[in-house]
């Protein structure tokens, strides 16, 4: 969208802050597994997935693994049966929370609306949030 020569650095810091706020909101209120948040090419990037793989994802959503072998094996055994049932409801809640987190970011940084919405991984989910139409955006920028 923009390069460092086009805008003052404070805008890129605000883009980074918006990404961090979206990631924090998702992992705090929905225990969404957020892998990374950052500013990339002048857009907000939040890498996450909907639903849970294991109980470990619920307890520590931003941590990769359990360090002992027996809790890991127990978690795999329980999760094999429990997670498909839980995810039927949880995915819907995660999608709602994803929409809400992006709407909050646009509300807080209205001058960065295009930068926040254009880099979303799940653009089809954001349809209608803050006037977002997926057809108005293409990969990594605005038409």
d(CA 128, CA 143): 18
Phi/psi for 124 (5° steps) reads -65, -25
Q: Which of 37, 82, 32 is nearest to 57 (CA)?
A: 32
Alpha helices, DSSP H, located in 30-68: 55-59
Q: Which of 42, 28, 25, 29 is nearest to 115 (CA)?
A: 42
Whether this prediction's pTM lies above 0.75 is answered by: yes
Which residue do the tokens 């939040």 mark? 46
pLDDT digits (tens, 9 = 90+) for 2-56: 555 566 666 778 888 899 999 999 988 888 888 888 888 888 889 888 888 877 7
């Amino acid at each position: 969208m923009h390069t460092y020569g086009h805008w003052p650095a404070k805008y890129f810091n605000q883009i980074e802050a918006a990404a961090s706020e979206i990631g924090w909101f998702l992992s705090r209120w929905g225990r969404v597994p957020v892998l990374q948040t950052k500013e990339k090419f002048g857009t907000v990037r939040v890498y996450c997935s909907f639903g849970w793989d294991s109980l470990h994802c619920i307890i520590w959503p931003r941590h990769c693994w359990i360090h002992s072998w027996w809790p890991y094996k127990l978690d795999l055994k329980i999760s094999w049966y429990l997670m498909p049932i839980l995810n039927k409801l949880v995915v819907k809640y995660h999608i709602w929370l994803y929409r809400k987190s992006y709407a909050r970011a646009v509300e807080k940084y209205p001058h960065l609306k295009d930068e926040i919405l254009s880099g979303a991984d799940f653009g089809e989910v954001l349809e209608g949030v803050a006037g977002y139409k997926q057809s108005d955006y293409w990969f990594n920028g605005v038409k």
